[in-house]
Structure 1
Amino acid sequence: MGWIGTTLDALVSEISPEAGRRRALARSAAKLAMNYDAASRGRRAAGWKAPATDADAAAFGVRARLRQLSRDMVRNRPYAARAREVVTSNVVGTGIVPSVVHESAEVQAQIWAVLSEHLLTPALDARGELDLYAMQEVVIGTVFTDGEVLARRRIRRGKYARDLPLGFQVELLEADHLDDTVTSWGKNEVIEGVEYSPIGDIEAYHIFDEHPGSARMRGLKLTSRRVPWQDVLHIRRFDRPGQLRGVPWLAPVMMTMGEISDYQEAQILKQKMAALLAAVVTYDKDSGVDPSKRLKGLEALEPGAVVGTPEGTAVNFTTPPKVDDYQPFMREALGAVAMGIGITRESLTGDLSGVNFSSGRMGRMEMDRNVERWQRMVIMQFCMGVERWMRESWAMQRVLPTEIIRLNHTPPRRPLIDPNDEIDAFLKQIEGGVNSRQNVQRTLGLDPERIRRERAEDAQKDGDAKLAPTGASNLPTARENRAKANPEGTVT
């Protein structure tokens, strides 16, 4: 520490013992931190950024910039667009299917008849374009690109109801609609358009009537409205405790993707240069060749041509650069991008070379865990929010007896890599009591209530036709099928 530091510590302790104690504790903590190389501030850690901000402050002031960069990448970078499609198609696919849970099959059918007319038609959309499944696709795609998306409830009454089965519609809004010019509302603090109560929970959103970037809003003054939280669904991924805002999923890999694009452009230019083969003709100054005939026969060489050159000339061909190591570099770089997003490199690139069944299955299992988490995010924050609005509208309109309505939400079917063995494993789980039939059915993207109803209908019709009953116990397993195909037991 040196005699100067020691003398200064002694002087501070003499004047203020409390301040001296704090200096001693700070020095001790600094010595302990130096035991970790990553905590050092030397040359090796130069340029490292480690601000002590909370989850939302980390992106404060730059959230809009991140959204704009992410959107531009999805528009113009093929791998960014591909990553969004992979996430969207795996999380929602053809749709997370709602189903009514009720003891009475008759009441269940009556409820579903009303809900399907509202949820599964464009009547749900405030613009009359999207049904519930299409909205789910837009929601997860926007969360991927922007980090968050808003769904606003629009109450419809009277002439604005337009014969809707239920008196509400849903309007999807980008986060740009949040008015970041409002800083307070009474005793509540407003940060980036989100109003927080004194205890820190969200009370309202301040939303522009129009998108700030709309072409028809140029030159016009933007106005925002305070919308209570009950009328807004805020869908985003939570990565840290206390986080209330989202960031684009491409944020950790934006720099890498930009550098990959620069590298690709450089390689393309290099490839164009490699395709250029030029001939340089030199002449002896004393050759006496007529200048008008110097390049005769060399202006355009054709395959297989034999061309003579005048005496005193020499022809030298250029050596264009070679394009080397492109595929190994791109493979590793795109693997890093895929890991940063949470998907497999094979799904990002579509390249299955060098992948066998086991490695493909292991990679897919890891990605499936992420997909399940993202599906839960969409179900909890969007699907169940729409269900809450549906229940409230149902109670106000008294469409049917106002009893409690509950929905199940079934994610899309996960593609099976080996259907025979995997279905066989599911059946053994059910028989062994380690899994339920309806949970397996949901894993396969099927609605247990619908299957139960249709099986009852099949059994009734088979009974009326005096057909023998069929069931899972009568179906041969995958192992029995292989044994029949290979009775000798030889290895195939």
Structure 2
Amino acid sequence: MTKNKFPRKAMATRSNAVHPKAVQQAKTPTAVVKNRLVASGYSHYGASYARKSLIGWMSHSASADEDIADNIKTLRERSRDLYMGVPLATGAIKTIRTNVIGSGLMMNSHIDRDKLGLTEAQAVEWQKNTEREWLLWSDSTNCDAARMCNFYEFQALALLSTLMSGDCFVALPFIKRPNCPYDLKLDLIESDRICNPLDSFKITENSVVEGVEVGQYGEPVAYYVAKYHPYSRHRPINSFKQEWKRVQAFGTKSGRRNMLHLMSDMERPGQRRGVPLLAPVIEALKQLGRYTDAELVAAVVSGYFTVFITQDNPQNGLDSLMSGMPGVDVSSMTADQNDVSLGNGAIVNLAEGEKVETANPGRPNTAFDGFVTSICRQIGAALEIPYELLMKSFTSSYSASRGALLEAWKMFRMRRQWIVNRLCQPVYEEWLSEAVAKGRINAPGFFDDPAIRKAWCLADWSGDTQGQLDPLKEAEAARVRVEQGFSTREHEAAELTGMSFDIIAAQRGREEKLLAENGLTQPVSSELHPLTQTQKDKEESEDAK
């Protein structure tokens, strides 16, 4: 047996030099080091520097600004590159956008009539009138400062930008335009334009990191907005000089919001900028994209069929047999004697003594699908998107597919509530303030008491429904919940159809009246549909198999 080349003490010194904390331990007194070695708890496991598997693990503790803000530019660039070039990354972001926003989150006014002292009829009338006025503003592109989107398209763009870049900003300027009853406009600002000005070192009163100025309690005080995108090469003529504008987060006297910061995931206290959704899986997605491209190229190459012809006299071109074949253009086939590239049904000449050795790439790779599926499951777990929904592949049983959808909708509902709290409701409150100030909506006491203002501003936001694998079973479950008092018709109508129960009931009344006038009224049975139990038995037997 050969002896170890290095003494134990020398090996220990080398391993201690791997990590700064280990070096610090080497400089401490022997008694202190001994106490640390016999310590219990995490020192033997996750915090150990003695285990071989953890010796090379270099970790460093830093603030949120250092861990996030110092790396945010690279994270944004790579996240956008993945979105533009890797189908799985594109699908993940668009899946969240489609399920959270869909065709747009609609506002349904539900004021606190008890607090406001209104009767039910008065409250209903006020809510309907407010919703009409709201649609006048939100259904038009006039709500957008760039006049590109209505409010519902604006929601989708804001969420997409937030997921891709980590955050985005919405300014709330007042811009007067002809034939626009409301002056409030929304200006969506991409995350890169909120950055430190060149002379930010002169700002000593408050701290400024990545364009966000905070006060002594960590609250946002102002945002520094670049006039042009910092990496854009397409600027107006004679506008080479970059300029920044300091926008206060809240009005000094009114306390009004001047800027909304849409940051999807708060990871740490003191965090000023958001992290792109794909940040934890950037490497996995990039490597998976490269692997997919390599397999695709290999499969294409293996599909080529090329004929190589050896010649005794290469100066004479193709042999007489090929020259005499009808329809064969010898001149085109011998134009480039050095061209030996593969092609579909290509014919390549070889000189005397040259031979060809073929390599079988073995494509398509039988292990490709299983490997990609395994990686996609890990990516889906990190993004809170089940594999079935991430890949749009519902090949499992009804129970498994429904379980995946229910799990995904926990995340979708959370993000939907987040965008309601951060974008939809604040914008609605700013719009309602202008509508009341201009006298288009009557709301007594709106500017006198914050509690009364809150009562006038209460609203629900509903979007596209979850979708149903078995609509008959879902409808039956909704009926049972309503009959047993576990839910309301308003809630179930919103969940199943996305419509308000008031609208459904009013339309149903008109339809029933029209049917009665034409003698077509039919009784509506509340018994269990006969197909429900049959379908349930069938699915249970499939799950058992």
Distance 1:22 1:100 in 2: 70
Asked whether the equivalents of residues 193 and 207 of structure 1 are also in contact (C-alpha less than 8 Å), the reply is yes
Q: Which moved more, 1:71-80 or 1:138-147?
A: 71-80
Coordinate RMSD, CA, aligned: 3.9
Q: CA deviation at 1:200?
A: 1.1
Q: If the length of structure 1 is used for normalisation, what is the TM-score?
A: 0.80
Deviations 1:351-409 (A, max 9, x none): 44x42222211211211111111111111111112112113222332222134243211
Q: CA deviation at 1:217?
A: 5.7
Please give the residue correspondences for 1:86-485 in structure 2 after superposition, counting only pairs within 5 Å.
86-102=95-111, 103=120, 104=122, 105-156=124-175, 160-181=176-197, 182=200, 185=203, 187-214=205-232, 215-216=234-235, 220-229=240-249, 230-242=257-269, 243-276=271-304, 318-323=358-363, 324=365, 325-352=367-394, 354-403=395-444, 404-444=456-496, 446-448=498-500, 451-456=501-506, 458-459=508-509, 462=512, 474-482=524-532
Amino acid at match of 1:128: R
Decide whether aligned partners of structure 1 residues 485 and 250 sit closer, same or farther in structure 2, where only a CA change above 3 A counts.
Answer: closer
Decide whether aligned partners of structure 1 residues 446 and 314 sit closer, same or farther in structure 2, where only a CA change above 3 A counts.
Answer: closer
Q: CA deviation at 1:278?
A: 5.5
Match of 1:84 in 2: 93
Q: CA deviation at 1:231?
A: 1.0
Asked whether the equivalents of residues 277 and 317 of structure 1 are also in contact (C-alpha less than 8 Å), the reply is no
Distance 2:486 2:473 in 1: 17
Asked whether the equivalents of residues 168 and 261 of structure 2 are also in contact (C-alpha less than 8 Å), the reply is yes
Amino acid at match of 2:191: A
Please give the residue correspondences for 1:50-89 in structure 2 after superposition, counting only pairs within 5 Å.
50-89=59-98
Amino acid at match of 2:478: F
Distance 1:121 1:26 in 2: 70
Q: CA deviation at 1:483?
A: 6.7
Deviations 1:69-117 (A, max 9, x none): 1111111222222222111111111111112225423322222221111
Decide whether aligned partners of structure 1 residues 421 and 482 sit closer, same or farther in structure 2, where only a CA change above 3 A counts.
Answer: closer
Asked whether the equivalents of residues 163 and 264 of structure 2 are also in contact (C-alpha less than 8 Å), the reply is no
Decide whether aligned partners of structure 1 residues 49 and 346 sit closer, same or farther in structure 2, where only a CA change above 3 A counts.
Answer: farther
Asked whether the equivalents of residues 147 and 247 of structure 1 are also in contact (C-alpha less than 8 Å), the reply is yes
Decide whether aligned partners of structure 1 residues 153 and 485 sit closer, same or farther in structure 2, where only a CA change above 3 A counts.
Answer: closer
Amino acid at match of 2:79: S
Q: CA deviation at 1:317?
A: 6.8
Decide whether aligned partners of structure 1 residues 166 and 45 sit closer, same or farther in structure 2, where only a CA change above 3 A counts.
Answer: same
Residue ranges of structure 2 left out of the alignment (5+ in a row)? 1-7, 14-27, 112-119, 250-256, 329-352, 445-455
Amino acid at match of 1:245: R
Percent sequence identity is 18
Asked whether the equivalents of residues 101 and 406 of structure 1 are also in contact (C-alpha less than 8 Å), the reply is yes
Amino acid at match of 2:491: N
Q: CA deviation at 1:166?
A: 2.1
Decide whether aligned partners of structure 1 residues 440 and 220 sit closer, same or farther in structure 2, where only a CA change above 3 A counts.
Answer: same
Deviations 1:151-209 (A, max 9, x none): 110112xxx24332322100111111112233575632111111111111112211122
Distance 1:81 1:424 in 2: 36
Task: Provide the secondary structure at the position in 1 that maps to 2:498.
Answer: coil
Match of 1:9 in 2: none
Q: If the length of structure 2 is used for normalisation, what is the TM-score?
A: 0.73
Task: Provide the secondary structure at the position in 1 that maps to 2:479.
Answer: helix
Task: Provide the secondary structure at the position in 2 that maps to 1:433.
Answer: coil
Amino acid at match of 1:368: W
Task: Provide the secondary structure at the position in 1 that maps to 2:53.
Answer: helix
Asked whether the equivalents of residues 151 and 232 of structure 1 are also in contact (C-alpha less than 8 Å), the reply is yes
Decide whether aligned partners of structure 1 residues 361 and 213 sit closer, same or farther in structure 2, where only a CA change above 3 A counts.
Answer: same
